[in-house]
Amino acid sequence: MNIELAALADYAAVTADGKLIVAGVFDALIVAGLPASQPMMYLALRISGDAAETGRHELEIRLVDPDGKPVIPSLKGGIELPPTPADGTAASAQFVMGMANVAFAAQGPHAFDILIDERYELSVSVVVRLAPPSSAD
């Protein structure tokens, strides 16, 4: 299995004909104070594989803080990799997960660890930063 695209965004969706729409990609959250809540964010994935990898696979997403502690409970689900096309190219599938009101208690690098069939594949990083204090003139 190969994760061809992994992004955090303000919005993501998969169209009826299988196109992945991703808007507002980010890798940092600038917050006024901690704890801070992100009203809405999406994790978008494009996964591909060869003929031997077609079928259903278990997907697990873990969001961890800078110390490796879970921020939210692990999110588990399945993804279906369709049969390989007749032209011999790799099969691919899109996955989008929306998350509302995720609370971040610490600043620093956080990671969305992505596991497929209980095997670590990739991490998508997001850094939580405190906004600089505003200067009063």
Domain assignment present for residue 136? The answer is no
Q: Of all residues in the chain, what percent carry a pLDDT higher than 90? A: 88
Question: Residue 47: which H helix or E strand, with range?
Answer: strand 36-49
Domain assignment present for residue 83? The answer is yes
Helix (H, G, I), strand (E, B) or coil at 52: helix
Q: Two tokens at 74? A: 């692990």
pLDDT digits (tens, 9 = 90+) for 4-17: 999 999 999 999 99
Report CA-CA distances (Å) from 127 to 40, 107, 110.
Answer: 16, 7, 6
C-alpha 71: how far from its chain's center?
Answer: 14
Helix (H, G, I), strand (E, B) or coil at 76: strand
Domain extent, residue 55, equals 2-130
pLDDT digits (tens, 9 = 90+) for 40-84: 999 999 999 998 999 999 999 999 999 999 999 999 999 999 998
The model's confidence at residue 38, banded by pLDDT at 50, 70 and 90, is very high
Domain assignment present for residue 14? The answer is yes
pTM: 0.91
CATH number for the domain that contains residue 86: 2.60.40.2550
pLDDT of residue 11: 98
Would you give the DSSP letter of residue 132? P
The structural domain count of the chain equals 1
